[in-house]
Amino acid sequence: MSGAGRVGGAAADGEGFDGPPPDGAPAGDQPADCVRSDGVIEVVGGDERTIVLTFDDGPNPPDTTDLLDLLAREDVPAVFFLVGERVVEHPDLVARIAADGHVLGNHSWRHEDLGDASPDVVHADLTRTLDAIRAAVPGAPVPYWRAPFGSWGATVDVAAGLGMRSMGWHTAVEDWVPPGVDELVRRMEAVAPGGVILLHDGGGDRSQTVAAVARFVPMMRERGWEFVGPAHA
């Protein structure tokens, strides 16, 4: 969770709001088709007018349910980065996320900062979360990892060893401190072509996020943008 439009650094969740990049371009000096030097994905698909929606910290009823209903109506794919403890509490929602065709991601067992953790500790945490997800949806692919607070440390290499690519974000909208639907939509508009947007369906009341996504999707489609899921390669 960094500030909207932030691309270049590994800023922690909840830090910074840099404002929208000019003319919808990525902030910083990175190329549009962006895998950072540390292996973290922030932009998918280069210069195409595409958007990847991602949601962290769930599953979390009723907001995850409302969001899934909305995404189904709009035929929009997304990536859901799941917290292991929440998966155990709501396996039915995890099963629905997968059944609806969305991508499952690992977001650690209880959203603790793993940036300074040893590889063994990271491996145990990520594996425990993977086991919970696969207990809820046997055989489900979990192709992506996202570090809590954007604190990557050893997690990128450990995740790769477990078959997961690390996905950061181009645009975070700070919806964990709900600023109102209008402001959330404005911040989402900072996304660059191919940009990954960081949102939340868990961690608190996310009704503003659901309402903002409901407004953002048709607005951006009218402007010629497409909502896509990332490739797993």
| 3-state secondary structure at position 121 | helix
DSSP output for 192-203: PTTEEEEEESSS
Taking the CB of residue 194, how many other CB atoms lie within 10 A of it?
23
Residue in the structure block whose two tokens are 């700070």: 174
DSSP assignment of 148-192: GGG--TTHHHHHHHTT-EEE--SEE--TTS---HHHHHHHHTTPP
CA distance 94 to 82: 8
Q: Which amino acid is at 232?
A: H
- The DSSP output letter for 115 is T
Catalytic residue among 13, 18, 56, 57: 56
Closest CA to 77 of 106, 59, 104: 104
> Residue type for 120, please?
D
Has 200 been annotated as catalytic?
A: yes
CB 79 within 8 A of CB 67: no
| Side chain identity at residue 142, one-letter code | V
| Positions marked catalytic | 56, 200
